[in-house]
Chain A
Amino acid sequence: VPVFPWHSLVPFLAPTQSD
């Protein structure tokens, strides 16, 4: 059974400079 990492499910949107 394949296991997928949690971060594959969430879109990676433009990096912001906030932190």
Chain B
Amino acid sequence: SPVALPPFFMRGSIIQLADGELKRVEDLKTEDFIQSAEISSELKIDSSTVERIDNGQSPNAVVIQFSVGELKAQVCVEVLLEYPFFVFGQGWSSCCPDRTTQLFELSCAKLCVGDVCVSLTLRGLR
């Protein structure tokens, strides 16, 4: 794979929440992201709905089109098939859950059009 995989998605990785609490990546819940963003002075949680999933430039990549936030800004990102996103109320999800499980040992659901993912934006932008 030509693109380095982020190490923090590996099962067992230790994640620090905004209040200092430590959790394993596989134990994170929707509330952990919401509460961390609530006490962050710079970051805000947005809801990003998956609008389209298309093939990427390389066979192991996909282009995901999101509708971001209340303004429904259209944003495309190209990621590896196994790249996990956190879906509200569901947890880690990727375009190829089998690959994510194989590479990261992280249990994943299949990311589908209509799923609402946790994303971040900056506070105070007007």
Q: Which residues of chain B are near A8, meaning CB under 8 Å?
A: 6, 8
CA distance A10 to B126 in the complex (A): 22
Residues of A within 8 A of B (CB): 1-19
B75 & A14 in contact (Cβ 8 Å cutoff): yes
Distance in Å from the Cβ of A10 to the closest Cβ of chain B?
Answer: 5
Most buried by B among A6, A8, A10, A16: A6
Number of chain B interface residues as a range: 35 or more
Known: A12-B120, A16-B46, A19-B123. A6 touches B70 (CB 8 A): no
Known: A3-B15, A6-B17. A13 touches B119 (CB 8 A): yes
Q: Which residues of chain B are near A1, meaning CB under 8 Å?
A: 14
Q: Which residues of chain B are near A3, meaning CB under 8 Å?
A: 14-16, 22
A13 & B86 in contact (Cβ 8 Å cutoff): no
Residues of B within 8 A of A (CB): 6-9, 13-18, 22, 25, 28, 32-33, 36, 40, 43-44, 46, 48, 66, 68-71, 73, 75, 77, 85-86, 117-126
Dominant secondary structure of chain A at its interface with chain B: loop
A6 & B16 in contact (Cβ 8 Å cutoff): yes
What residue of chain A has the Cβ atom nearest to residue B22's Cβ? A3
CA distance A13 to B106 in the complex (A): 23
A to B CB contacts below 8 Å, 27 in the list? A3-B22, A4-B7, A4-B13, A6-B16, A6-B17, A6-B32, A7-B36, A7-B40, A7-B120, A9-B9, A9-B15, A9-B28, A10-B33, A10-B86, A10-B120, A11-B120, A12-B120, A13-B48, A13-B66, A13-B75, A13-B121, A15-B121, A15-B125, A16-B70, A17-B126, A18-B69, A18-B71
